[in-house]
Amino acid sequence: MNPTSRRALSLRNTGHALCTLTLSLSLVTATAPARAAESNPKVDASLKSATGFILSQVKPNGEFGQQYPVTMTSLSILSLAACGHQPTDPSPEGQAMRKGLDFVLLAENQTKDGYFGKAPNDAGRMYAHGIVTLMLAEMVGMGVDDKQDALIRERLKLGIKLILRAQAMRKDPLNTGGWHYEPDMATADMSVTCWQVMALRAAQNAGLDVPKEAIDKAVDYIKRLYMAVPNSNPPAGGFGYSAPAATTSTTAEGLLAIQVCGRYEDKETVNAGNHLLKEDINKASHLFYTLYYYAQGMYQRGGKFAEASKRIVPEILIPKQKPDGSFEGQDEGGGKVYTASMAVLALAVKNHFLPIYQR
């Protein structure tokens, strides 16, 4: 389906112009049409300020930020898309997204076998690869012209093939189905795995061939990191980093990842939501990273879980925002563009624009 017809389909199905982005970013799984963005003046003001800061960090060549340029540019593009901006928009945001895409799509940023993790001045390894591939999947059909659209799809296909090859590396029973820092590693962890899972699902939504077996194996790996929390009522549990545990940050990761794969009512999903409902999220390590996964994962759970997240995430993030739109805290040296982008993705869950995060 060409970009024009995809935009028309989105508008016809939702009846709301703001939702045009919903299906034009990628082909959405047919669960329910996207809803219109919810209004929250404080959150909207915070998002406007944060995206303004992100725009202030764009360099003439299209890259965002001061470090990990390919990764941070991809996160920035995702954060702008989460606020309803498109590369074709005649606005500062649209222009920045166009230039950012051109930068990410440079041949030097992807190896011949499809790897984005060794881009010049980036070297973000499989973390970077998952983030960049996810962004490209969300941008299918959104290029400014046929040439850019074709290049997005070409780079995306190579990136997905790399993810599938890395998953197929021989691993021990615990790590089978997961991913680690480099494509050829025989180990795995939750954080790297979650980015690859979201990239695979977004690519699948965009019409690429992603074997069901790959998704199922990834879910099985994540579930092997699950641990029940004893003496919990209702039953609760969580996920660990590379072994069973119930750490807040990795529980939030696992909760989102398995729901993105359609496992909404599995025991692990239900119990992880119950666990996070009781946790003090503000005390979590890697706070911006955790809030991103927490906001998206709890939204997927719906009901009281989504309501808790809708209250807690702004309560934590908005007081940390500086006058220039950036946020206090660096999350292990990720930089200001990183924290601003993750904050935007957490706060913008109410918009329902990015297909990968829709239920």
pLDDT classification of 28: cutoffs 50, 70, 90: very low
Q: Cα separation of 235 and 225, whole Å?
A: 17
Angle between helices 41-56 and 336-347 (to 10 degrees): 150
Which residues on neighbouring strands pair with residue 321, listed in sequence order?
A: 327
Which residues on neighbouring strands pair with residue 191, listed in sequence order?
A: none
| Closest to 266 (Cα-Cα) out of 254, 249, 248 | 254
Q: Cα separation of 170 and 172, whole Å?
A: 7
Task: Give me the torsion for CA of 339, 243, 196, 127, rounded to 10°.
Answer: 40
**pLDDT tens digits for range 57-76:** 999 999 999 889 999 999 99
For the cut 70, the answer to whether the pLDDT of residue 35 exceeds it is: no
**Which DSSP symbol is given to 310?**
H
For the cut 80, the answer to whether the pLDDT of residue 108 exceeds it is: yes
> Residue 41, preceding bond cis, omega within 30 degrees?
no
Region of poorest pLDDT, from 161-165, 244-248, 333-337:
333-337
Spell 188-220 as b/e; 16+ CB within 10 A means b.
bbbbbbbbbbbbbbbbbbbebebeeebbebbbe
Q: Enumerate residues 6+ apart whose C-beta is below 8 A from 346.
A: 288, 291, 292, 294, 295, 296, 313, 317
pLDDT at 38: 76
pLDDT classification of 135: cutoffs 50, 70, 90: very high
For the cut 50, the answer to whether the pLDDT of residue 19 exceeds it is: no
For the cut 50, the answer to whether the pLDDT of residue 44 exceeds it is: yes
pLDDT classification of 149: cutoffs 50, 70, 90: very high
pLDDT classification of 2: cutoffs 50, 70, 90: very low
For the cut 60, the answer to whether the pLDDT of residue 133 exceeds it is: yes
Q: Are 63 and 103 in contact (CB under 8 A)?
A: yes
**pLDDT tens digits for range 186-242:** 999 999 999 999 999 999 999 999 999 999 999 999 999 999 999 999 999 999 999
Q: Cα separation of 356 and 285, whole Å?
A: 25
For the cut 60, the answer to whether the pLDDT of residue 24 exceeds it is: no
For the cut 60, the answer to whether the pLDDT of residue 27 exceeds it is: no
**Which DSSP symbol is given to 245?**
B
**Can you give the pTM of this predicted structure?**
0.90
Region of poorest pLDDT, from 145-159, 215-229, 344-358:
344-358
Higher pLDDT pick, 41 / 19 = 41
For the cut 70, the answer to whether the pLDDT of residue 21 exceeds it is: no
**pLDDT tens digits for range 254-304:** 999 999 999 999 999 999 999 999 999 999 989 999 999 999 999 999 999
